[in-house]
Structure formats: C-alpha cells, structure tokens
Amino acid sequence: MSETEHHHNLGTVPRLGTVVMKFGGTSVGDPERLKLVAERLVATCEAGNRVVGVLSAMGHTTDELVELAHEISPNPDPREMDMLISVGERISCALAAMAIHDLGHEAISLTGSQAGIVTDTVHTKAKIVAIRGKRIQDALDKDKIVLVAGFQGVSSDSLDVTTLGRGGSDTTAVALAGAIGAEACEIYTDVDGVFTADPRVVKTARKLHAVSYDEMLEMAASGAKVLQLRSVEFARNHNVMVHVRSSFSDAGGTWIREEDERMLEQAMISGVTHTIEENVYRVEGTTPSKLFSALAEAQVNVDTILVNGDGAIVYSAPLEDHQASEATLNALGAKWSSRDDLGKVSVIGAGMKSHPGVAAKTFEVLGELGIEPEIVSTSPIKIACHIAMADVERAVQALHSAFGLDTEVAERGHE
Ligand code: ASP
Ligand code: MG
C-alpha cells in the first residue's frame, strides 16, 4: 500500500491526489456542454482524485453583462460592475453542481468569497492576496466535488465582491492549485494547447508539448491569449504545473513547468506571438518618475518603455487602458500623442539565452519584407518589435518559418 493510501485511510479506492480542473467559457457554453464537464469532473473523482472545478461564465455571458452595464450607464460604478459580472461564474457552478448530483455524486458550488479567495480592493482588476482554503478542504474531505466560481474574490478591506480582470478564471484555478497543494492545474479550453504562433495567422503553427514558466510569461504578456498573464506568474511563483488542453478531446495538451535541459537543447525559439491591441504613447513635459507613478496609480498596465535623450518618453499600454492613460496624461499637464496603428511581433524562446544571432536574424527577416521596426524591446528570452499594424501577419508568418518552427525539427519536447 502506498504512503498516500495509508495516510488518508481510504479503503479500496487509491487516492491519486488533488486536481484543479478549470473550464473556460466555450467549454461550459450551453447546458449540454456543462453536462459533459460534470461528467469529466465525476470521472476524475471516480478515478480516485479529490476534484476542484473552477468554471468560467457560460459562453459570452461576461461580455453581455459588460454591455448591459454600458447600456445603463456610460461610466458604471466599479463596485457595482463587479457585483454584476461576477454572476456569470456562479451560474455555471450552480448548474454544474446540479448536473453532478444527477450523476449520483456530491458537489457544492462556492462563490469566490465562500471559497476563501481574498483580494485587494481594485475593482475589475483585483489581485489575490490570500487564499483561505479551509472550506474547500473540508468539502473535499467529505468526498464532495467542489465547484469554485472563477474570476472573483472578496476584498478583505471593504468586504465587497471583486473580479480579477478578463480571463481571470485561469488565475483563480492556478492560485487555488497552489494554495491547496494540488498535483496539477488542468486548464480545459477550446484549443489543443499552446501553439508556436496563433494558428489563425500561421497555418503551420504547431502545439508545443512543454514550455517553461518564463517563456509562457513572455508569450502571455505579448499576445498569446490562452492564459491570463497573472495565472502564469502564480504558477511560476508557486511552482504549479499547468496543463493546457482541449475540453473536447482526451489528447494531451501543453505543459507549463520549470525549465529543463531538454527544453533548452531542442529549439532555440519556441514561439512567435503578436498583438494589435496596444497603443503607443509619446509624452513630453514630464519626468519618467512622475509619469509612471501616475500611470501605476491609475492601474495602467505599461509594457514597453523607451526614454530618449530628447526628453520624450515613449510607452505602450493595452487598448483597454486607453481612457485611464488619457486621463492621467491630461491631469499631468503633459504634451502627448498616441498611436493606434502599431502592432507588436515577439520572438520568444529560452534557448535564445545561449544562442547569439536571434536579433540579427529577426531584423534580417523583417528587412527582407521591407518592414522597419519602430520600437525594439528585449528580455533575455524575447525580442519584440513594434511595427505597422498592417504588416503584423506577414511578419509573424515569415519569422515563424525563418526560425524553423514550420518544420518537424522544432517539435520540442515531444515524447
Ligand atoms: N468570464 C470572465 C471573462 O470572460 C473570466 C474568465 O472566463 O476567465 O473574462
Ligand atoms: Mg480565458
């Protein structure tokens, strides 16, 4: 008998461990799909696991709720916004619990607050500050499948409901997995895993078997939409193994885990990402310290920063932060302009650390296409170029192929 069996003294069913299984909006998109999710949760439980399900809102529920708010008010109160948009996830969880009951299993649905997810008070973009997992553990000890509403928590200061930013159910799932010591966090979604590029843009893009936390952070920060950025930060900081996979098949997806030798040896570049959802600002008449403190205060998520000798400060930020940026810049009395005609293409790979020449090759490929980057920013495992939005797709395609990602050779980490 294994140690685990001894420990929990569970008789005939060997306990494998605790698994957090997160299902995205498409996966719970209608009643039929919700029932399939319930079946999957039950099957995992019957295989001997303690199961926590984290669910997103059904289909486009969150978008619809946001629209509804804007039909009522041009500038909805953030606290009330969170009351409103946190509802979608609760619906999914309550319905899934009902379906699980019908399958003859015990289940309980919990709001973020009931699940002990404590956040700060930044409405619509709250950060998790603590997880008090006792209620979940107690329910698991009673052999219940626990369903936690994703994307939400409760502020310990105001006791108000908060939400974690769009895509925040990923973060709920990973943070919970870390807090309750789950073996893995499975993210079930409508794609097969993490790809070498957006398959809608690059037909030859392929699923990666494994990526390191650092690579996934760079990918999520530069346009890969498969995981919320903050969930990857959590995974890295708490060493949670994340498995991104399709909810419509049993095929394995992409593992996000600690970097290992094999990852480094195989391909130099693991992906080419892109985004067209940024504005680039040019600001004069203030200092970097004043500017970036004010932007931080306004919760603007600044990405690339460029400080020129000529006194101009250039930075990029997501489209969704445009209003906040504008208000901040005006309040500072700065002279500023913004561009919405630029996109960003990023080449990412842990292998880059030990292979010189990636920048040279990137510029060569862009040069052959007649594309001049307007801004270049780098990290040890990333080269990002802001280029004309109209050029983004062909740049991604050319870089993907130039770095050998189109071929079998790059099928990294495949067993
Ligand atoms: N339902 C929320 C959203 O659409 C959170 C999530 O699905 O992760 O952003
Ligand atoms: Mg998502």
What's the start-to-end Cα distance of the chain, in Å? 30
Q: Which residues surround ligand 2, an ion (CB under 5 A)?
A: 167
Same domain for 393 and 296, yes or no, is yes
Give 241-288 pLDDT, tens digit per residue.
Answer: 999 999 999 999 999 999 988 776 667 899 999 999 999 999 999 999
CA-atom Rg of the chain in angstroms: 23
Same domain? 173 vs 301:
no
Q: Is residue 338 part of a domain?
A: yes
CA of 374 from ligand 1 middle (Å) equals 33
57 lines ligand 1 (CB under 6 A): yes
d(CA 186, CA 53): 10
For residues 167 and 51, state if they share a domain: yes
Do both 40 and 152 map to the same domain? yes
Which of 132, 167, 190 is the endpoint of a domain? Answer: 190
Whichever domain contains 351, its CATH number is: 3.30.2130.10
Asked if 184 and 279 sit in the same domain, the reply is no
Claim to verify: residue 183 and residue 285 sit in the same structural domain: no
List alpha helices for 14-60, DSSP H.
31-46
Q: For residues 39 and 149, state if they share a domain.
A: yes
Q: Which of 145, 170, 190 is the last residue of a domain?
A: 190
Same domain for 185 and 50 = yes
Within-domain flag for 248? no
Pocket lining: 58 vs ligand 1, CB cutoff 6 Å: no
32 plus 128 within the same structural domain: yes
Q: Is 29 in the pocket of ligand 1 (CB under 6 A)?
A: no
User: Do 305 and 404 belong to one domain?
Assistant: yes
Q: CATH number of the domain that 166 lies in?
A: 3.40.1160.10
One domain, residues 21 and 165: yes
> 227 in a domain, yes or no?
no
Report if residue 247 sits inside a domain. Answer: no
- Kindly indicate the confidence band of residue 408, based on its pLDDT and cuts at 50, 70 and 90: low
Q: With respect to residue 385, please indicate whether it lies within any of the assigned structural domains.
A: yes
Q: How many other C-beta atoms are found inside a 10 Å radius of the C-beta of residue 312?
A: 15
Q: Give the number of residues written for the chain.
A: 415
Q: What span, in angstroms and rounded, lies between the C-alpha atoms of 201 and 179?
A: 37
> Which tens digits make up the pLDDT trace of 159-174?
999 999 999 999 999 9
* Residue span of the structural domain in which 300 resides: 271-410
The encoded tokens of residue 364 equal 């060569």
* 41 ligand 1 Cβ < 6 A: no
Of 131, 161, 190, the position where a domain reaches its end is 190
DSSP 207: B
> How far, CA to CA in Å, does 388 sit from each of 304, 312, 373?
16, 21, 8
Check whether residue 175 and residue 280 sit in a common domain: no
Look at residues 276, 127, 129, 141 and name the one whose alpha carbon lies nearest to residue 200: 276
**pLDDT value, residue 356:** 84
**Single-letter amino acid code for the residue at 114:** Q
Residue 237 in domain: no
Question: What share of the chain in percent tops pLDDT 90?
Answer: 89
Distance CA 81, CA 401 (A): 44
Structural domains of the chain, count: 2
Residue 157 backbone phi and psi in degrees, to 5:
-75, -55
Tell me, yes or no, whether 255 lies in a domain.
no
Tell me the pLDDT tens digit for each residue of 324-367.
Answer: 999 999 999 999 999 999 999 999 999 898 888 999 999 999 99
For residue 216, tell me if it sits in a domain.
Answer: no
77 CA to middle of ligand 2, Å?
24
* Torsion angle in degrees (nearest 10) through CA of 372, 374, 375, 378: -10
- 6-42 residues labelled b (16+ CB within 10 A) or e (exposed): eeeeeeeeeeeebbbbbbbbbbbbeeebbbbbbebbb
Q: For 162-175, give the DSSP string.
A: EE--TTTHHHHHHH
Maximum pairwise Cα distance, the chain: 73
In the beta sheet, which residues pair with residue 21? 53, 186
